[in-house]
Structure 1
């Protein structure tokens, strides 16, 4: 009995050891050898998104080369991060991975892997770009039809970093002179539609100081609450794309009645409302349709450009704060531009999501890819992490076993996520004859039945003409 218990205890201790090792391998540490020499930061809050671009000069004060460093976002803003990326001095993308640091559970970290290590005593310049959604809120939360929209932004006056920052400067871009109030911490300078803070010197790690700005912002506050993107692949030369879009105006809600007469007579009426917006489709898009639950919407316009098809989508009614719209947009593209093959191996390369409108924010996108019947060895390659949904089958005309459907979803999507996915699969080319043979077989059986029906006599007694003979 004792040896058995000892084995159980040994296995339990070994399992705990393995778990601890795996956890420690996934956790990073803050290096004391790294120091941020300088940060030039620009915070663009002129739209509904917060776009922060930072030029970071990383200095190695240690004795060995540094091959990676950490980026951090404070706890108050970590749930608003939609995208974060980094580039080196040659404008080449750097690998960035979400990670964690023990003892800082309320802080979100990313590890940036440098292509060339920073030698001891040397510096490297890294450009970082981050996008935050729902970080600008209407204040007040309700306005009348004639009022401008005032919003409030709360952020961090300092560059939030796990390292000491020797010098930093922040430019806040508003694109408006109508500022109700803003944080006044010297040194600062307000000119036109910009507020400049700094330079600040020797900022300690994880320093936070509130930056609050109350200003006018009538840019479209549109949020796509959900978009379902359906891509149906055909090996007969066509790919059909259909998008079902649910869109909300998430700005200050409309207070009081709505006057369509005033809205149509005065172009300045409803400055915070959305009359129309532009959607970009691939340049080869054709057979475009735009409809809602009532049918086709004829108020839209389409303009064909050199590198895209521009749709000026105008809903049946203007969108005010708290109002929403639901529509379906579809089009066809030639498969030779997106589908490549060699023998029986195929590669589909398309966008996860297309451009819906400028400075878009999407709560959830669901992408479904319908492949031809008989497809096997399916492998999906994505440009960023998503949630893979269970595979399913789609049945349409002349299908016998059903067409495989590959689905995945991602939340908190912005324009930076307009990137290509790759889908590799195997499809025997002989299966392309399946549908034509089914049609030929059906017609053959139909004509055969007609011939049999015409040629055979199914009457119970013979006709009088036959009796006389």
Structure 2
């Protein structure tokens, strides 16, 4: 017979093991043999610095019961570069994706696509899957001179990486150039101006892989925002101030040899892989825009006010070659009535997590800080995707007594697909809006009172003696 304490410990261990097994079974999926991929029409766009893959998938349910979900997968050498992964159904509505795992395939990254409408037995359904990968294109060679074109090497998978049997598939690779050094040749294939077509390939097994290599010219801007700190300061007096501190690096082929400013200015084709300028898009209501670096304001850039945005043609003080960096601050104001809503003491702020910095942008790290008015409480934030919340803090400025709440979050590896709105709710007693005016009035009153006292009091040590009259 075991002692009572030993029995208790044994029961506790059994309970913990049961919980672990239950949790594992809840987060681990199985690959259904009833699901087959009837057809895949895939497009790989490598014409910019990003790898954009769009796949039109026709799914077939060969089983006897409805299918409510299916799995999507990414190979081991590509999963770490994926910045965005999404899916839509035939009516162009988003399909909810949940990261999951499959026992025996720990090296594969899986998403479970949860369907709003199940695929009945014997039926088919069409879905569009989109992925955007950063830093998946490598300069080859890694260093070039000022006059040379930039050559890029793409290494991918000729087949769609799927956990299911694929009956037929074909791939179209967009390079937007005739200058292709070498590319993988697996029949059937064809080459046209700016693209390479592969397939159709019949009857490919699950998790099929065959190396696809394309070496081609790509002089598009290889700019990476290594860090951006975005500050949003909310005021209940009609204005929201936005300021961004941006660090950018040219991550393409590094400049080999000296840089000639004379050749660069005389020959417009000099430095084909360099970046002279780029366009940033701000909200249409943006005003009081400023753009400066460590040396001061930069006045060579242009601003165009359009119907749905404000377009800034930003031109750094010097062109950016491979390995070169720049650092600048961009700020503007927007009216609060377009982004801040309230009912009584309840407020809702709805703004973008990040703005459009340049076309085909890639951001290594974003830090967003939201400064709320002093006295705000019950703060709740709803974000369109997963981020890392940092500890809340306080910000002090003029006429503050307790400090303004600062909500901070960060995210890594962002692209244009992450330009989405967040929602921040908070409570603010409207009577507190009188705090700052009353502080100003009180200060002026005290100042005038001190002046009156100072004028009326006599602080002299000796009083002047008046002469006596005879």
Q: TM-score, normalised by structure 1?
A: 0.99
- CA apart distance, 1:466: 9.2
CA distance in 2, matches of 1:468, 1:131: 103
Cα-Cα RMSD: 1.2
CA distance in 2, matches of 1:432, 1:44: 52
- CA apart distance, 1:105: 1.2
Deviations for 1:218-262, whole angstroms, at most 9, x for unmatched residues? 000000000000000000000000000000000000000100011
Deviations for 1:150-201, whole angstroms, at most 9, x for unmatched residues? 0000000000000000000000000000000000001100111110000011
Deviations for 1:368-389, whole angstroms, at most 9, x for unmatched residues? 0000000000000000000111
Q: Which residue of 2 is the match for residue 457 of structure 1? A: 458
Q: TM-score, normalised by structure 2?
A: 0.99
Task: Show the 5 A alignment for 1:288-307.
Answer: 288-307=289-308
CA distance in 1, matches of 2:465, 2:247: 72
CA distance in 1, matches of 2:390, 2:32: 39
Task: Show the 5 A alignment for 1:69-108.
Answer: 69-108=70-109
Flag the 1:467–1:413 CA change in 2: closer, same or farther, 3 A: farther
* 3-state SS, counterpart of residue 259 of structure 2: coil
Flag the 1:402–1:466 CA change in 2: closer, same or farther, 3 A: farther
* 3-state SS, counterpart of residue 391 of structure 1: strand
1:237 correspondence with 2:238: yes
1:205 correspondence with 2:220: no
CA distance in 2, matches of 1:412, 1:465: 86
Q: Which residue of 2 is the match for residue 375 of structure 1? A: 376
1:121 correspondence with 2:105: no
- CA apart distance, 1:29: 1.2
- CA apart distance, 1:34: 0.5
Flag the 1:467–1:182 CA change in 2: closer, same or farther, 3 A: farther
Deviations for 1:193-222, whole angstroms, at most 9, x for unmatched residues? 110000011100001100000000000000
CA distance in 1, matches of 2:261, 2:461: 76
Task: Show the 5 A alignment for 1:118-157.
Answer: 118-157=119-158
CA distance in 1, matches of 2:276, 2:105: 45
* 3-state SS, counterpart of residue 391 of structure 2: coil
Q: Which residue of 1 is the match for residue 3 of structure 2? A: 2
Query: Which is further off, 14-23 or 269-278?
Result: 14-23
- CA apart distance, 1:459: 2.0
- CA apart distance, 1:418: 0.2
Q: Which residue of 2 is the match for residue 275 of structure 1? A: 276
Q: Which residue of 1 is the match for residue 385 of structure 2? A: 384
CA distance in 1, matches of 2:465, 2:110: 97
Q: Which residue of 1 is the match for residue 330 of structure 2? A: 329
- CA apart distance, 1:464: 2.2
CA distance in 2, matches of 1:294, 1:337: 34
* 3-state SS, counterpart of residue 213 of structure 2: strand
* 3-state SS, counterpart of residue 18 of structure 2: helix
- CA apart distance, 1:12: 1.6
- CA apart distance, 1:467: 8.6
Deviations for 1:393-450, whole angstroms, at most 9, x for unmatched residues? 0000100000000000110000000000000000000000000000000011111111
- CA apart distance, 1:340: 0.2
CA distance in 2, matches of 1:103, 1:339: 49
* 3-state SS, counterpart of residue 439 of structure 1: helix
CA distance in 2, matches of 1:47, 1:465: 94
- CA apart distance, 1:458: 1.9
Q: Which residue of 1 is the match for residue 440 of structure 2? A: 439
- CA apart distance, 1:97: 1.3
Name stretches of at least 5 consecutive residues in structure 1 with no aligned partner.
none
Aligned length: 469
CA distance in 2, matches of 1:174, 1:460: 91
CA distance in 2, matches of 1:235, 1:20: 52
Task: Show the 5 A alignment for 1:20-99.
Answer: 20-99=21-100
Name stretches of at least 5 consecutive residues in structure 2 with no aligned partner.
none
* 3-state SS, counterpart of residue 389 of structure 1: strand
- CA apart distance, 1:331: 0.1
* 3-state SS, counterpart of residue 10 of structure 1: helix
* 3-state SS, counterpart of residue 291 of structure 1: strand
* 3-state SS, counterpart of residue 112 of structure 1: strand
Query: Which is further off, 389-398 or 12-21?
Result: 12-21
Query: Which is further off, 19-28 or 36-45?
Result: 19-28
Q: Which residue of 1 is the match for residue 183 of structure 2? A: 182
Structure 1 runs of 4+ aligned residues shifted over 4 Å read 466-469
- CA apart distance, 1:460: 2.4
- CA apart distance, 1:461: 2.5
